[in-house]
Amino acid sequence: MSQTAQLCGRRVLVVEDEFLVALDLEAELEEMGALVTCVSTLRQATGQAKTGKFDAAIVDLNLQGEESYPVADLLREQHVPFVFHTGQGERSALMRRYPGVTVCNKPCEGSAVVRDLERALIG
């Protein structure tokens, strides 16, 4: 993979509580030139999202038993494009609550999630 204009230099928040999944996403994004911040808890994610310093995000729905809706709501309010990367299988409910947001069901390759994020940035 090579750097693309969509992600190069972009600040991306990765909200993921599974270490290996987060590591894979971080590597994929950094290879594309993104500046990545990874968090694994709802508290960390909410704190980071409140800063408003991100250009895009990848959000896992279930963070150690807590749903990440507050983070998604903050991102939406700030007009930060994001994709859900979840194993919860609630695609239709997520799409109703967040129209236009892509939902990637786990298991899913990191490269596919990154491609979806690029499409979200194009908008």
pLDDT of residue 1: 42
Q: Has residue 77 been placed in a domain?
A: yes
Domain membership flag for residue 2: no
Q: Is 30 within a domain?
A: yes
What would the two tokens of residue 54 be? 């991100």
Distance CA 62, CA 41 (A): 9
What are the tokens at 36?
């990545």
Kindly report the pTM of this predicted structure: 0.92
Instruction: Tell me, yes or no, whether 5 lies in a domain.
Output: no
Which CATH number belongs to the domain containing residue 29 in this structure?
3.40.50.2300
**Half-sphere exposure at residue 90, Cβ-oriented, CA atoms within 13 angstroms:** 13
What whole-number distance in Å separates Cα of residue 22 and Cα of residue 74? Answer: 21
Q: Is residue 4 situated within a structural domain? A: no
- CA 93 to chain CA centroid, Å, is 17
Residue 103 three-state SS: strand
List pLDDT tens digits, range 43-98.
999 999 999 899 999 999 999 999 999 999 999 999 999 999 988 767 788 888 99
Q: Is residue 6 in some structural domain?
A: no
Whole domain around residue 53: which residue ranges? 11-122
